[in-house]
């Protein structure tokens, strides 16, 4: 099983990082789309969901645009993901049915619940400011690529 962001969360985090980098200035959707390589049609949906989640504000017109509703150090990664995907702490069964003797709880319940809680705690412990700081360092080549990076090229 892979635990990765959906396209919606991917674009939402990218958009939020862009807004954090431009804060407190307002940024147009076209600027966000260009800067973060996000399709404009999808970006508008994502920005609306971030706005409904109370993370982004917008003003229409020539001097309008999008901005974060709070400072980046007051917005957790968990808040961004949940604004786009819904609550991650749902009580959904990990096994999706099973033997009839599992009507109340499945055999994996405790393990899955603990894993999901740890995942949510990690997302909640990092802020948009943390992610934006890494982005800024990556942009100028000052961030050391972790050894376990999936994008790391072969060593010469």
Mean of pLDDT values over 83-107? 71
pLDDT the model gives residue 33: 96
Mean of pLDDT values over 5-20? 94
d(CA 122, CA 78): 8
Q: Which two tokens stand for residue 122?
A: 């990690």
Burial of 18 (0-12, 13-18, 19+ CB in 10 A): buried
Asked if 111 and 95 touch (Cβ cutoff 8 Å), the reply is no
d(CA 60, CA 89): 35
Confidence category of residue 147, pLDDT binned at 50, 70, 90: confident
Q: What pTM value is reported for the model? A: 0.84
Residue 149 lies in a domain: no
Mean of pLDDT values over 34-47? 94
pLDDT the model gives residue 12: 96
Residue 150 lies in a domain: no
Lowest mean pLDDT among 6-20, 72-86, 139-153: 139-153
Lowest mean pLDDT among 45-49, 91-95, 119-123: 91-95
Give the model confidence (pLDDT) of 111-124 as tens digits.
Answer: 888 888 899 999 99
CATH of the domain at 79: 1.10.10.10
d(CA 145, CA 142): 9
Number of domains within the chain = 1
pLDDT the model gives residue 113: 82
Range of the domain at 128: 7-139
pLDDT the model gives residue 7: 92
């Amino acid at each position: 099983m892979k635990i990765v962001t959906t396209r919606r969360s991917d674009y939402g985090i990218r958009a939020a990082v862009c807004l954090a980098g431009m804060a407190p200035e307002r940024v147009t959707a076209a600027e966000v789309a260009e800067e973060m390589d996000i399709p404009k049609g999808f970006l508008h949906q994502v920005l609306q969901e971030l706005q409904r989640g109370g993370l982004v504000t917008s003003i229409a017109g020539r001097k309008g645009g999008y901005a974060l509703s709070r400072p980046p150090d007051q917005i957790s990664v968990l808040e961004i993901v949940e604004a786009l995907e819904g609550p991650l702490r749902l009580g959904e069964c990990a096994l999706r049915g099973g033997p009839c003797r599992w009507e109340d709880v499945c055999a994996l319940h405790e393990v899955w619940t603990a894993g999901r809680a740890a995942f949510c705690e990690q997302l909640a412990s990092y802020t948009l400011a943390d992610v934006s700081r890494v982005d800024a360092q990556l942009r100028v080549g000052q961030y050391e690529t972790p050894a376990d990076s999936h994008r790391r090229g072969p060593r010469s």
